[in-house]
Chain A
């Protein structure tokens, strides 16, 4: 039975680069796929572009990643699929071509997938899913709107001979499903195989989260060499089954536990995980731990794809002002509570206009909030962290100014946070809607070296 080997290259923009290099050099991969986008990635890139027209519109670590993996990928004949194009896939593809030329490569093709941007077609979207609001009502606040593209344009680009495919927004599993469609010729009615393939993509797109990253809990779930994790490598067969492994000599471990955590990660309904290409049913999955440290996954099934595509919408929604200061030793929590009271009164006196204000005690209740047990022990150290969401920059700025006042006009033994940092940031709200498929036409541009 035909099989292909796919490696994860990254789980997000800030991911480590070194494990991708190891897989490119030693993994004997057919494909390496990079996932680098979060929901706010596009909108934040638009904000940066508004501030500085020369700001790059793609993954700022594109150079680091390509320098790390291209030599190994060229040597092994590994093809690359990556969503590092962000708001400028053409620019990113051109930059990749520059890297190929620098390495002396010839006869290579870099494809660029575009066509997901729908800011000029908001009238083709249904109501905002979270609120039911009119999708055309954002006005000037609208920063971005892109449809999540599926695996089809990626498979098409590979079919056109692309060695590297650069995309903007697409569904994360599609980055991996694209190569499977291309290699195995699965058709839209191969629902179970599409479901299995999308599931593999879902498992692989968070890279080390399945090889022991984000998994260690001392004494409960121990992971060998968690400072040295390898990225996952999937051997996928044309029936849709796969075996997940990683390179010899790397840290971490793939286990039933890590696979289960990743399988359910960010999934609303495990019997209906919606992707542009297929709706995945994880409830039929069968996992087997093999005696060589790998895990076999089979039996995942699929249901027909949704009629419409999901659109991620980003808009300007005001500002958040925030700051923090410190207490320690006996009575720390009492001093923090008084500081909170002083800040609340100060915000009233200076007439802070905020949509929401939140004052937490870091070390005590800042993470679990209302879920903090009533009998939680008093901490030895407490940081008071204050944040407010406002409509204007000037109002958000007041938060930091009032924390400044706490330095000499506040509570005894107040510690200041060292290092001046940005205390006001812009809020990019993220919303979603569904759009008609015929309003979205993915396009492929091919660059040649």
Chain B
């Protein structure tokens, strides 16, 4: 089944200069495996469609079930000189909640807040 990442993980943005730091934290270990496989740095950057102008580096933390994405050139030249209203990029992470992943049907019960399929 294809589902949005928001059912597998929660996210948080941080900032340092012109670099956005986006944490993607799986709700459980089996879901983390799916993310490690499908949310590659390349796929992550492509999902942001040009909003990240520099390199994307991914750090994998098995002990936390989390991926940390270091996104260079994502904050309009830096927090202080950015013309963006959200100059810290605090809400930037929420875009990845819409990233689509392929999850096996047997993991349906691990997905968080997934609407029940319509009856019939």
Interface residues of A (CB under 8 A from B): 39-40, 130, 214, 217, 219-221, 257, 260-261, 263-271, 282-287, 317, 320, 322, 356-358, 360, 362, 366-373, 385, 387-389, 427-430, 432
Q: How far is the CB of B89 from chain A (nearest CB, A)?
A: 9
Known: A284-B63, A370-B48, A371-B95. A270 touches B68 (CB 8 A): yes
Number of interface residues of B (CB under 8 A): 44
Q: Of B47, B49, B81, B94, which contacts A389 at CB under 8 A? A: B81
Q: How many Å lie between the Cα of A255 and that of B25 in the bound state?
A: 13
B113 at the interface (CB under 8 A from A): yes
Residues 45-103 (chain B) with a chain A CB within 8 angstroms: 47-51, 59, 61-66, 68, 70, 76-81, 83-86, 91-92, 94-95, 98
Contact of A368 among B65, B77, B95, B112 (CB under 8 A): B95
Q: List 21 A-B contacts (CB under 8 A).
A: A130-B17, A130-B18, A219-B113, A257-B25, A261-B12, A261-B25, A263-B64, A266-B16, A267-B68, A268-B16, A269-B70, A283-B63, A356-B83, A360-B84, A366-B85, A367-B92, A369-B84, A370-B51, A371-B95, A373-B98, A430-B80
Known pairs A220-B112, A261-B25, A369-B51; A430 contacts B78 (CB<8 A) = yes
> Is A429 a contact partner of B17 (Cβ separation < 8 A)?
no
In the bound complex, CA of A146 to CA of B91 (Å): 29
Question: Which B residues form the contact surface with A (CB < 8 A)?
Answer: 6, 10, 12, 14-19, 21, 23, 25, 27, 47-51, 59, 61-66, 68, 70, 76-81, 83-86, 91-92, 94-95, 98, 112-113
Closest CB in chain B relative to A258 CB, distance in Å: 10
CB-CB under 8 A from B61, the residues of chain A are 264, 270, 282-283
In the complex, which of the residues A221, A371, A428 has the most CB atoms of chain B within 10 Å of its own CB atom? A371
Contact B70 A268, beta carbon cutoff 8 Å: yes
| CB–CB A427/B81 < 8 A | yes
* CB-defined contacts of B6 to chain A, threshold 8 Å: 220
User: What is the bound-complex CA distance between A261 and B112, given in angstroms?
Assistant: 17
The answer, among A283, A371, A389, for a CB contact under 8 Å with B48, is A371
Q: Cβ of A429 and Cβ of B81 under 8 Å apart?
A: yes
Question: Which B residues are CB-close (under 8 A) to A322?
Answer: 83
